Amino acid sequence: MKSAKTVVEKHSAPKRTTEEFIIMTLSGVTSLAVLPFSLIRLYQQDWAVAVLDIFAVVATGCLFCYVYVTHKTKIPGQILAYLSLFVVFSTVTLKGSQQLMWIYPALTAMFFLLPSNLAGIISVAVLLGLGIVLRHDITLLQALVFYISSGATLIFSYAFSSRMRKQQQQLTELATKDPLTGAGNRRALEQKMLDVVAFQRRESQYPASLILMDLDNFKRVNDIHGHAKGDDILIAFVNAINNRIRITDNLYRFGGEEFVVIAENTSLKEAINLAEDLRDSIERDEWLAEHGVTISVGTAKYTPNETAFEWLGRSDRAMYQAKERGRNCCCVA
Ligand SMILES: Nc1nc2c(ncn2[C@@H]2O[C@H](COP(=O)(O)OP(=O)(O)OP(=O)(O)O)[C@@H](O)[C@H]2O)c(=O)[nH]1
């Protein structure tokens, strides 16, 4: 059994996610890049385009500040994507083909702000729309150059953004999942506990409980059946627990044969019932029973002003109590 003492207690400043970085870069650059043009349009008294440009500068500036302060990205990303297209489309409609080159950065940005397939569909629709708007303004050869160059931009952006998202997902899994069992790893557990404790300090009316499970006499199980079978048992155990808990509950591997369920919005009574259900489902699992697998369980509800370390420590002590009572049972802190 591992000690609970190494759980990180420090609240580090939240780091910027890739999405935040992308939206802040795009909105910041757009705001600064369009600013001189809005001033030129004002100077030229080209009011319609000046209003559009000033609108783009202010809106993208606001989006930058909003993401900087709140760290939220979903809605700001969508707004930025549609806003860029709207401004480019409107400027081309007002000023003609001389404004067409703005479509290239707008198209590229779309693929990093919206899901790749949606961005692809919208981009094709916008390119067709621009073709209709400019049908009397450009020659056939110019149209051909425009469609081939914008099509190439579109394909490149699609390929690059899809690949980036896939790699990002793989990296996230590597950083947060236990490679053997697929349960959340210790780092993910620590982060989740800090998040839950922070939430509990704001919204204490929603109870949260920890259920700490330790496989009994696992050393002996390994000695009898071999280490490889021991690994299979850990995988089967995680599958059995995942089949029983709610989708909103989270299962983490805390140490070698020690696992934690964080049950949010769950009272102590409900958590005690769940802990007993989990213990029972492992005992009743035919294959696990064949290998003599049982678990000892410690349950603790979050109490106000407690740190994540203290909370986990209480559930750890409850689990030790269960071991002392002869194993294959549940105790409450
Ligand atoms: N197969 C396998 N075994 C592991 C893994 N991680 C830890 N273990 C084994 O789990 C065993 C844990 O042993 P102990 O901490 O002594 O605890 P225990 O034998 O389960 O005894 P109690 O917890 O007191 O019931 C050790 O033999 C570890 O080698 C793993 O990833 N795979």
317 belongs to a structural domain: yes
Q: Do residue 41 and residue 134 come from a single domain?
A: yes
Q: Which residues are catalytic?
A: 257
Pairing type for strands 330-332 and 295-301 reads parallel
Distance from the alpha carbon of residue 218 to the mean position of ligand 1, in angstroms: 5
Distance from the alpha carbon of residue 278 to the mean position of ligand 1, in angstroms: 19
pLDDT of 98: 87
Query: Maximum Cα–Cα distance for the chain, whole Å?
Result: 87
Chain-centre distance for alpha carbon 183? 16
Q: Do residue 274 and residue 153 come from a single domain?
A: no
Distance from the alpha carbon of residue 261 to the mean position of ligand 1, in angstroms: 19
Q: Counting every residue, how long is the chain?
A: 333
Q: Do residue 157 and residue 273 come from a single domain?
A: no
Phi, psi of 330 (to 5 degrees): -120, 145
d(CA 313, CA 318): 9
User: In degrees to the nearest 10, what's the CA dihedral of 183, 184, 186, 192?
Assistant: -150
Q: Do residue 127 and residue 169 come from a single domain?
A: yes
Pairing type for strands 250-253 and 330-332 reads unpaired
Range(s) of the domain holding residue 322: 186-332
Q: Do residue 213 and residue 317 come from a single domain?
A: yes
ipTM of the complex: 0.95
pLDDT of 8: 46
* Most informative mutation of 186, 217, 222 for ligand 1 (most atoms within 8 A of CB): 222
Which run of H or of E encompasses 292?
none
Distance from the alpha carbon of residue 262 to the mean position of ligand 1, in angstroms: 22
Residue of minimum CA distance from atom 11 in ligand 1:
219
Query: Which one, of 108, 319, 272, 295, lies nearest residue 217 by Cα?
Result: 295
Q: Do residue 47 and residue 80 come from a single domain?
A: yes
* Most informative mutation of 214, 219, 253, 331 for ligand 1 (most atoms within 8 A of CB): 219
What DSSP letter does each residue of 92-160 carry, written as one string?
HHHHGGGGGGGHHHHHHHHHHHS-HHHHHHHHHHHHHHHHHHTTTTS-HHHHHHHHHHHHHHHHHHHHH
Q: Do residue 213 and residue 265 come from a single domain?
A: yes
- For 91, the 3-state DSSP assignment is helix
DSSP bridge pairs for 283: none
Residue of minimum CA distance from atom 16 in ligand 1:
219
d(CA 22, CA 28): 10
- 92, 130 Cβ separation under 8 angstroms: yes
pLDDT of 13: 52
Atom of ligand 1 lying closest to residue 231 CA: 1
Chain-centre distance for alpha carbon 119? 20
10 belongs to a structural domain: no
Q: Do residue 157 and residue 220 come from a single domain?
A: no
Alpha helices of the chain — where are they, by DSSP H? 18-43, 47-70, 74-95, 103-113, 116-133, 140-176, 186-202, 218-225, 227-244, 268-284, 286-290, 308-324
Atom of ligand 1 lying closest to residue 230 CA: 1
- 121, 76 Cβ separation under 8 angstroms: no
Residue of minimum CA distance from atom 24 in ligand 1:
217
d(CA 50, CA 36): 10
Q: Do residue 86 and residue 123 come from a single domain?
A: yes
Check which CATH number belongs to the domain holding 228 and give it.
3.30.70.270
64 belongs to a structural domain: yes
Q: Do residue 170 and residue 36 come from a single domain?
A: yes
Distance from the alpha carbon of residue 256 to the mean position of ligand 1, in angstroms: 6
Q: Which residues line ligand 1 (CB under 6 A)?
A: 1, 180, 214-219, 222, 227, 230-231, 234, 256-257, 323, 327
Residue of minimum CA distance from atom 29 in ligand 1:
219
Two tokens at 115?
């899901």
Residue of minimum CA distance from atom 4 in ligand 1:
256
pLDDT of 249: 85
- To the question of pTM greater than 0.80 for the whole model, the response is no
23 belongs to a structural domain: yes
Q: Do residue 85 and residue 137 come from a single domain?
A: yes
Atom of ligand 1 lying closest to residue 180 CA: 31
d(CA 111, CA 104): 11
pLDDT of 167: 93
10-residue mean pLDDT profile of the chain (333 residues): values are 48 72 94 95 93 95 96 94 93 90 92 93 94 92 94 94 92 93 94 91 85 95 93 96 87 94 92 95 93 96 91 96 96 93
